Amino acid sequence: MRVSVFKWRSLLTPTLSRHLGLALAAFIVLLVLSSQIGAYDDYNLAAIAIFVIATTGLNLLTGVNGQLSLGHGALMAVGAYSTSLLLRGHDLPLILVLPASLTAAALVGAVFGVAAARLRGPYLAGATLALAVGLPQIATRYSHVFGGEEGLTVAPQVAPAWLGADFPPERWIAWIAIAAALITMVLLGNLLQSSVGRRFKAVRDHEAAAALAGINVARTQVVAFVVSAACAGLAGSLFAYWSGLTAPSGFGVALSLQLVSAIVIGGLGSLSGAVWGSIVLVFVPALTGGMASSLNLPSAVGNNLPLLIYGAVLVVAMLLVPYGIDGGLRRLFALARARWAGAASNHKGVVDWDDPAGG
Amino acid sequence: MEQPTLDVANLTVRFGGVLALDHVSLRVDANEIHGIIGPNGAGKTTLFNAVCGFVRPQTGTIRYRGEPLLGTAPHQLAKVGIARTLQGLGLWPGLTVLENVMAGARLRPHFVASLLAMPRADRQERQVRDQAVQVLDELGIASVADTRPAALPYGVQKRVIIARALMAAPELLLLDEPASGLSVGEIERLAELVGRLRRRMSVVVVEHHVDLVMAISQRITVLNFGQVIASGTPDDIKGNRAVSLAYLGEDVKTAEGGLGA
């Protein structure tokens, strides 16, 4: 006789097990990679993972739901300041601080999302830009709470003892950030493949048609904003741990614009696009910075060269791969597959840029 | 007497100085195909927009199965059983045909279940997918389920739009120019389809293709400059002088005579 017991395995739906499997594989690879590289590279790896969290969230909002936000740097600031304030004078564990900071940013995102749902195109861009400009000012204005221009310091996370006494803290924060990034990607991946993701895209592509299909357009837009803000908050919180300092200068308009440029370079609307964009975001300035300093240029030129090269890379990327790195790679892949299939193929390099299969 | 499916009474819509609808009334019974014809700018689409809540009329009432419909937001229509297709198609280019149709389903998406890919979300997705395949099959376009709409001929795109509307299993289907851009063969198939749908729902068709409307409708309302100039069975409309005037223009002699009939 069969005894009916609750089966944990029944909770592992095909979608979830596929995403978890991919994330687990990536986690193992990245842990191994992180253990092979030096502290500075681990530090950069952590930065990429943190940016991945922010950019996947932004890509969900902008690429998938069609709402352009130029203010996500400010939402990262909400996460970072929440973390810094929570840790001031308290020794709270990371596992509590991260969700709390995420929630704080999600709440700000909800308030802002309600306003954003009423705005379109340039008006939405303007309003979110105002958020990016205005919010860091609060830290300066109320300096007794937020530490003013100097900001608030955050003690670095110390690796647990079982990892060894000389385990570098850069590697530990990299592991934490990688885990957080992969969890974020699993959750957003689930969302993208569900009816919720379909509704996000429907609202992006045609609002009136979406409404007639029974989709509450405004509510869908607010939900996308909240999810996206929560990601930004999580990224901001980890950013505070990673940099050890939360100051207004770290969350200026430039950060918000960098996040947008990352998803555009990486590929709008796909999770992998956000990853490519984050890699570019971290590595191009690091590379160009190294180049500039090795050229022994006067500091007035040398200090601005990385930014110049970054801008040039942006322009070239837009010209060469208008659908981002992700789109470019898919095109290459499709071309290779078409060639593989032989001349009989009637695809002839015709590529579906916005193929959701890879999203 | 049975409750009409749609009962529009004295509807007036004004855009600034333009009177788009002027005390328009019409009534659609259960399982009736109701055609709305009229020259360009007659107010046909505005009438649909008013029924769907995109446009707020200045006066008049709209009742759906006896219940007032005015004030219902467009996204609430699917829930009460009203589906509408748009003149400009309104397919979502970023979704496949199957996904476009799936999104037409009347369902309550569960955010947390979707976020965590819980069994109930997967189950719901499977059900909706099966249902969408069935509807695509019924319209003879199941083979293009995984294609993007933009890659399809216009006639097939128009069928996808109808498939999406049918996913909601509506009791009232509003079709906005379903025949525009279709070939003769496709129009015949459309007529046959709408005739079949009639068993399950009421259909209101706004259409320029007068022959089609005459062929499939039980009753027809003719609009011109926002006013109902005629209504009745196809035979009533065929013989109506006001209708031929609206479509073909004033007879030259009559116009010169100053006084018409």
* A195 contacts B164? CB cut-off 8 A: no
Fold of B1-81+171-261: Rossmann fold (3.40.50)
Range of the domain at A161: 13-252
Residue type at position B241: R
Mutate to test the interface with A, among B84, B89, B92 (most CBs of A within 10 A): B92
Q: From first to last of the 359 residues of chain A, give the pLDDT tens digit.
A: 455 555 566 678 888 889 999 999 999 999 999 889 988 889 999 999 999 999 999 999 999 999 999 999 999 999 999 999 999 888 899 999 999 999 999 999 999 999 888 888 888 988 999 989 998 889 888 888 888 888 898 888 888 888 888 888 899 999 999 999 999 999 999 999 999 999 999 999 999 999 999 999 999 999 999 999 999 999 999 999 999 999 998 898 889 988 998 999 899 989 999 999 999 888 887 777 777 777 777 777 777 777 777 778 778 877 888 788 888 888 888 888 888 876 544 444 444 444 444 33
HEC string of chain B equals CCCCCEEEEEEEEEECCEEEEEEEEEEECCCCEEEEECCCCCCHHHHHHHHCCCCCCCEEEEEECCEECCCCCHHHHHHHCEEECECCECCCCCCCHHHHHHCCCCCCCCHHHHHCCCHHHHHHHHHHHHHHHHHHHHCCCHHHCCCCHHHCCHHHHHHHHHHHHHHCCCCEEEEECCCCCCCHHHHHHHHHHHHHHCCCCEEEEECCCHHHHHHHCCEEEEEECCEEEEEECHHHHHCCHHHHHHHHCCCHHHHHHCCCC
For residue A223, list chain B residues with Cβ-Cβ distance below 8 A: 111
State the count of interchain CB pairs (< 8 A) between A and B.
120
Query: Is A52 a member of any domain?
Result: yes
The partner residue sitting opposite B90, judged by closest CB among A193, A209, A215, is A209
Output the pLDDT for position B1: 56
Is there a single domain that holds both residue A165 and residue A61? yes
Q: Which residue ranges in chain B fall short of pLDDT 70?
A: 1, 250-261
Q: How long is chain A?
A: 359
Residues A354, A208 within the same domain: no
Question: In this complex, do A191 and B122 lie within 8 Å of one another by their Cβ atoms?
Answer: no
At B252 the pLDDT is: 52
Q: Report d(CA B40, CA B249) in Å as an integer.
A: 13
Residue A47 covered by a domain: yes
Query: How many other C-beta atoms are found inside a 10 Å radius of the C-beta of residue B3?
Result: 12
Of the partner residues A195, A212, A217, the one whose CB lies closest to the CB of residue B114: A195
For the CA atoms of chain A, what is the radius of gyration?
A: 21
Whether the Cβ atoms of residue A191 and residue A231 lie closer than 8 Å to each other: no
Looking at the fold, whether A117 and A225 belong to one and the same domain comes out as yes
Question: Per the CB < 8 Å rule, is A356 touching B99?
Answer: yes
pLDDT given for residue A151 in this prediction: 87
Picking from B195, B186, B123, B129, the residue whose alpha carbon sits closest to that of residue B157 is B186
Domain final residue pick, A252, A286, A304: A252
Q: What six digits make up the tokens of B205?
A: 């068709």
- Domain end among A228, A252, A276: A252
Residue A14 C-alpha, separation from nearest chain B C-alpha, in angstroms: 8
- What type of residue sits at position B30? A
Query: Is A204 in CB contact (< 8 Å) with chain B?
Result: yes
Residues of A in contact with B168 (CB under 8 A): 213-214
Q: Which of A200, A225, A252 is the last residue of a domain?
A: A252
List chain A residues with CB under 8 Å of B114: 190-191, 194-197
* Chain A residues close to B118, C-beta within 8 Å: 11, 13, 16
Q: How many domains does chain A have?
A: 2
For residue A22, being part of any structural domain is answered with yes
Least Cα separation, residue B27 to chain A (angstroms): 22
Q: Does A207 touch chain B (CB under 8 A)?
A: no
Q: Would the CB atoms of B92 and A356 count as touching at under 8 Å?
A: no
Q: What is the 3-class SS of A46-104, one letter each residue?
A: HHHHHHHHHHHHHHHHHHHCCCCCCCHHHHHHHHHHHHHHHHCCCCCCHHHHHHHHHHH
ipTM of the complex: 0.88
Cβ <8 Å between A354 and B94 = yes
- Start-to-end C-alpha separation, chain A: 45
Domain boundaries, chain B: 1-81+171-261, 91-169
